[in-house]
């Protein structure tokens, strides 16, 4: 009989062992461990129980496995018939690949920062014009070396930024008594935090350079490090820069006075900046490490010591957050000039952003979504902060600032914030912290628990939240987020749940219930739940989802934290929020008493007969495309089939349109959604599946055709434009008999637009195009139209008028005969015996 040993190794070894593979093993059955009566051969999946001698291991997808095969005590062979040395080389190769991967990740950091700057420039064209003027002005100077160094040091010295240190940092240790006396005899201390915080130091303080990093008791660990910094002039610095004299090392940071601190041209230390001294006594500017660290003395130091340090794992660990325990990697690629300039550019960006925010703050710019607080100032894992920086997030948005600390305290919260203000990150960050905390206490659980459950109303939104979570989890190995939504194979979900890490689930209610009711052990995993999040909470607690939500909440442990987020929270929803919130929850409202829409979004409405709507939409689109070359427009229609009809017509009119609605296959929806995220000069025709949460960047116009289901839907649809504090435009197109709806929007800054002049030739073209649309699409649109307006209280009550209006809609789309309805449908809709209704025979 073949006996298999199972050996857990620290690093993941996916290349060696394919996790999803099912292995046919003639093993002893764990339930029947008697070797005399061997169990019949069985299929063992990777999630099943394996036996190693007398010990049972359970593979839960978080660890990697190596199967070491013993052949009757003979020589040990490794998977794939490898010998020990081949096996070792394989691992070395993997380590190299991993190192390369990490370097690539760091490269992406720079790219992301550049992108973020471009985005911020697009968002603030005025500022980019201003920047351009500044750059072209004769007084323009690039970021001064002093500012530059301050920025780097600022970043590097933040508590918890140890992950940014270079491998050559070595272990933290106290300075020797000799070092201390040398520093103290020569120099009086300088408050480096003051230097970093940008307070100008005068010649006298500068000449009294330098000493300890921090006497702040909150930064004890820094006290053990000493930093050397020399002051010299801009000229000196530039010379050295142009000579490319820098070398990267961050070992000791003994900030010291430069004996020849006066510069060549006689300028004093006021214009000086921080310099380091090489072993041979030459000055050189501090070398930049990838993550903003500074080089100091010791880079040319004792080679043996350096070697010794390299042998050690750096003690600059991340404490409880250091899940990866990866070795630091020499950051060689930074030596390229491009990388350095990118790095400088990224720091400049950061400064500009801060300056912009400060200016915004001074002006009392209420529409700015950013708060002055930065992510590294709040209590989140440094690895997450690193990922946020990579994604271009430095400052928090107002809603993030207002909610993260309350959420981190473990309180239940109901949060209301305007559309596009960063609510997703506001709940994802506490979610990740919850997982990190829970993972520490749950290492030995037999069933891998799900710690965080995020519910949202649509599939696209679930995918978007998952994507954002993955961005934030970039540096958290072993933490996984999975999506459970309809339109995908249930079995595939189950497989993923078994084989891949999933401490966070993002789901739509229907599919989640399927899993709960399937009795496949999913409910058991939910028993470890620590946090429940409802995104678009008002919609989820609405009647459409209420029953599912009640069932789901019943299956969750009571001892959990619940967070509800939405841009709109009508009173009724606040009442039913008790369904999932504790009584003593926090209510955080960042909208205030003003309108829930953004001031920068220009809102208007248009009243026109229904039969003109298609032509008006076409006219509005043409007009907008002419005015905004980089247009991106969303047209919301009342139902899926109306969306399909509008799409078919505009496509016939040769417009660059895409469609998303519930009747489309999920793969198609996902593809179109991704395309619309990436591209410009596109028009998305959609139903309400795109109304909430979808973050399509830079949408310039939202058109809503027909009356929305309620005020909240109007606000959420409009919220697809004007995101991240940008401008946008919204037009609501109503028929005169839909005008009653404006009453619900009376507190919003909506103004009336006059009906556009419609070209008669264009009308003929539209009629011709409409004639080419598949009649089945038109018939379905008629059914949907009738169903939708029948369900609206204000219109559906007077059935005779409703059927008359439906008839005129029928005419406007070129249907000769009113399509027939099933008898059952007619009865259900209360349309029996209403003149104008045709019943199918
Ligand atoms: N701190 C931040 N700094 C910069 N950009 C941010 C920050 N937080 C979020 N964003 C960006 O803001 C945009 C909107 O974020 P998000 O989709 O989370 O908004 P939302 O409030 O959930 O919107 P909705 O109400 O429509 O669901 C996204 O592009 C996101 O990347």
How far is residue 831's CA from residue 828's CA, in Å, rounded to a whole number? 8
Q: Using one digit for the tens of pLDDT, what is the confidence trace for 313-327?
A: 333 434 444 444 444
Pocket test for ligand 1, best of 396, 695, 697, 698 (most atoms within 8 A of CB): 695
Q: Check if 342 has its Cβ closer than 6 Å to any atom of ligand 1.
A: no
The band of 362, judged by pLDDT with boundaries at 50, 70 and 90, is very low
Which residue reads 């990436």 in tokens? 678
DSSP 613: H
For 790, residues 6+ apart whose C-beta sits below 8 A from its C-beta are 796, 799, 802, 829, 830, 831
Q: Using one digit for the tens of pLDDT, what is the confidence trace for 4-52?
A: 333 333 323 323 232 223 333 333 344 444 444 444 444 433 333 333 3
What integer is the mean pLDDT of 460-476? Answer: 94
Distance of CA 639 from the midpoint of ligand 1 (Å): 27
Q: What are phi and psi of 364, to 5 degrees?
A: 70, 40
Q: Check if 590 has its Cβ closer than 6 Å to any atom of ligand 1.
A: no
The band of 453, judged by pLDDT with boundaries at 50, 70 and 90, is very high
H-state helical runs in 301-381: 303-311, 337-363
Q: Which of 547, 600, 542 is nearest to 568 (CA)?
A: 542
The pair of three-digit structure tokens given for residue 580, joined into one six-digit string: 């999932």
Distance of CA 634 from the midpoint of ligand 1 (Å): 18
Residue 774 · residue 637 · CB < 8 Å: no
Distance of CA 589 from the midpoint of ligand 1 (Å): 16
Q: Atom of ligand 1 at shortest distance to CA of 719?
A: 26
Q: What is the pLDDT of residue 622?
A: 95
Distance of CA 397 from the midpoint of ligand 1 (Å): 8
Q: Is 683 helix (H, G, I), strand (E, B) or coil?
A: strand
User: At residue 230, does pLDDT exceed 50?
Assistant: no
Residue nearest ligand 1's atom 27 by CA: 693
User: At residue 110, does pLDDT exceed 80?
Assistant: no
Residue 809 · residue 784 · CB < 8 Å: no
Question: Predicted ipTM?
Answer: 0.98
How far is residue 441's CA from residue 551's CA, in Å, rounded to a whole number? 28
The band of 166, judged by pLDDT with boundaries at 50, 70 and 90, is low
Burial degree of 454 (CB within 10 A; 0-12, 13-18, 19+): buried
Distance of CA 424 from the midpoint of ligand 1 (Å): 6
The pair of three-digit structure tokens given for residue 393, joined into one six-digit string: 């997030």
The pair of three-digit structure tokens given for residue 14, joined into one six-digit string: 């996916």
Residue 221 · residue 268 · CB < 8 Å: no
Q: Using one digit for the tens of pLDDT, what is the confidence trace for 595-625?
A: 889 988 999 999 999 889 999 999 999 999 9
Alpha carbon 126 to its chain centroid, in Å, reads: 27
CA dist 377 to 87, 382, 590, 724, Å?
45, 10, 20, 21
Q: At what angle do helices 640-652 and 760-772 cross, to 10 degrees?
A: 120
Q: Is 708 helix (H, G, I), strand (E, B) or coil?
A: coil
Q: Check if 693 has its Cβ closer than 6 Å to any atom of ligand 1.
A: yes
Q: Using one digit for the tens of pLDDT, what is the confidence trace for 633-664?
A: 999 999 999 999 999 999 999 999 999 999 99
Q: Pairing relation of β-strands 273-277 and 283-284?
A: antiparallel
How far is residue 71's CA from residue 73's CA, in Å, rounded to a whole number? 6
User: At residue 556, does pLDDT exceed 60?
Assistant: yes
Q: What is the pLDDT of residue 123?
A: 64
The band of 151, judged by pLDDT with boundaries at 50, 70 and 90, is low
Residue nearest ligand 1's atom 11 by CA: 422
Q: What are phi and psi of 680, to 5 degrees?
A: -120, 180
- Angle of CA points 822, 825, 831, to nearest 5°: 105
Q: Check if 424 has its Cβ closer than 6 Å to any atom of ligand 1.
A: yes
């Amino acid at each position: 009989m073949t006996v298999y040993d199972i050996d857990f190794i620290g690093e993941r070894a996916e290349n060696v062992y394919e996790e999803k593979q099912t292995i046919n093993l003639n093993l002893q059955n764990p339930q029947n461990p008697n070797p005399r009566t061997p169990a019949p051969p069985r299929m063992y999946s990777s999630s099943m129980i394996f036996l190693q001698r007398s010990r049972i291991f359970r593979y839960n997808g978080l660890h990697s496995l190596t199967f070491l095969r013993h052949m009757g005590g003979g020589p040990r062979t490794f998977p794939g018939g490898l010998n020990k040395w081949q096996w070792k080389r394989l691992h070395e190769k993997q380590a190299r690949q991993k190192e390369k991967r990490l370097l690539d990740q760091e490269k992406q950091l720079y790219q992301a920062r550049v992108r973020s700057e471009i985005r911020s420039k697009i968002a603030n064209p005025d500022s980019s014009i201003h920047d351009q003027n500044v750059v072209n002005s004769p007084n323009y100077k690039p970021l001064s070396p002093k500012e530059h160094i301050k920025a780097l040091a600022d970043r590097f010295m933040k508590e918890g930024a140890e992950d940014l240190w270079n491998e050559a940092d070595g272990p933290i240790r106290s300075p020797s008594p000799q070092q201390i006396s040398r520093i103290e005899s020569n120099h009086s201390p300088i408050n480096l935090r003051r230097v970093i915080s940008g307070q100008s130091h005068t010649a006298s303080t500068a000449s009294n350079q330098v000493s300890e990093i921090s006497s702040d008791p909150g930064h004890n660990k820094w006290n053990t490090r000493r930093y050397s910094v020399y002051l010299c002039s801009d000229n000196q610095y530039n010379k050295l820069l142009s000579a490319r004299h820098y070398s990267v090392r961050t070992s000791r940071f003994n900030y010291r006075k430069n004996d020849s601190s006066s510069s060549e041209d006689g300028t004093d230390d006021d214009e000086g900046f921080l310099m380091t001294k090489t072993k041979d006594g030459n000055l050189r500017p501090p070398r930049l490490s990838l993550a903003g660290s500074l080089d100091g003395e010791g880079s040319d130091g004792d080679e043996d010591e350096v070697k010794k340090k390299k042998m050690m794992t750096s003690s600059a660990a991340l404490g409880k957050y250091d899940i990866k325990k990866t070795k630091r990697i020499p950051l060689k690629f930074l030596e390229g000039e491009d990388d350095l300039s990118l790095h400088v550019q990224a720091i400049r960006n950061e400064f500009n952003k801060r300056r912009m925010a400060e200016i915004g703050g001074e002006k009392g710019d209420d529409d700015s979504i950013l708060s002055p607080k930065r992510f590294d100032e709040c209590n989140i894992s440094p690895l997450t902060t690193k990922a946020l920086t990579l994604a271009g997030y430095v400052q928090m948005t107002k809603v993030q600032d207002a909610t993260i600390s309350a959420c981190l305290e473990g309180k239940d919260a109901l949060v209301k914030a305007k559309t596009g203000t960063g609510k997703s990150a506001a709940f994802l960050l506490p979610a990740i912290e919850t997982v990190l905390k829970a993972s520490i206490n749950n290492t030995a659980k037999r069933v891998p628990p799900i710690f965080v459950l995020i519910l949202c109303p649509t599939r696209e939104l679930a995918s978007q939240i998952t994507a954002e979570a993955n961005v934030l989890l970039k540096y958290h190995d072993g933490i996984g987020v999975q999506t459970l939504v309809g339109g995908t194979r249930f079995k595939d979900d189950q497989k993923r749940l078994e084989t891949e890490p999933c401490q966070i689930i993002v789901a739509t209610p229907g599919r989640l219930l399927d899993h709960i009711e399937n009795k496949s052990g999913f409910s058991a995993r939910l028993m470890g739940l620590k946090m429940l999040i409802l995104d678009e909470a008002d919609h989820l607690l609405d009647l459409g989802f209420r029953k599912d939500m009640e069932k789901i909440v019943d299956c969750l442990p009571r001892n959990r934290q619940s967070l509800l987020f939405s841009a709109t929270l009508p009173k009724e929803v606040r009442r039913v929020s008790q369904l999932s919130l504790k009584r003593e929850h926090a209510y955080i409202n960042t909208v205030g008493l003003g309108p829930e829409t953004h001031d920068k979004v220009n809102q208007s409405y248009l009243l026109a007969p229904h039969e003109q709507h298609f032509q008006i939409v076409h006219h509005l689109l043409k007009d907008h495309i002419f005015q905004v070359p980089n247009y991106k427009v969303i047209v919301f229609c009342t139902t899926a089939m109306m969306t399909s009809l509008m799409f078919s017509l505009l496509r016939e009119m040769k417009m660059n349109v895409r469609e998303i609605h519930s009747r489309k296959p999920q793969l198609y929806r996902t593809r179109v959604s991704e395309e619309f995220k990436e591209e410009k000069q596109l028009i998305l025709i959609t139903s309400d599946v795109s109304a909430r949460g979808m973050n399509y960047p830079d949408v310039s116009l939202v058109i809503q055709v027909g009356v929305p289901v309620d005020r909240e839907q109007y606000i959420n649809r409009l919220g697809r434009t004007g995101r991240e504090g940008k401008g946008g435009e919204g037009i609501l197109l109503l028929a005169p008999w839909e005008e009653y709806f404006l009453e619900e929007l009376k507190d919003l800054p909506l103004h009336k637009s006059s009906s556009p002049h419609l070209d008669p030739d264009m009308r003929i073209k539209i009629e011709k195009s409409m004639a080419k649309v598949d009649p089945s699409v038109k018939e379905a649109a008629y059914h949907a139209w009738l169903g939708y307006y029948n369900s609206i209280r204000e219109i559906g009550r007077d059935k005779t008028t409703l059927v008359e209006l439906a008839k005129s809609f029928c005419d406007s789309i070129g249907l000769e005969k009113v399509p027939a309805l099933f008898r059952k449908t007619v009865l259900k809709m209360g349309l029996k015996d209403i003149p104008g209704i045709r019943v199918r025979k």
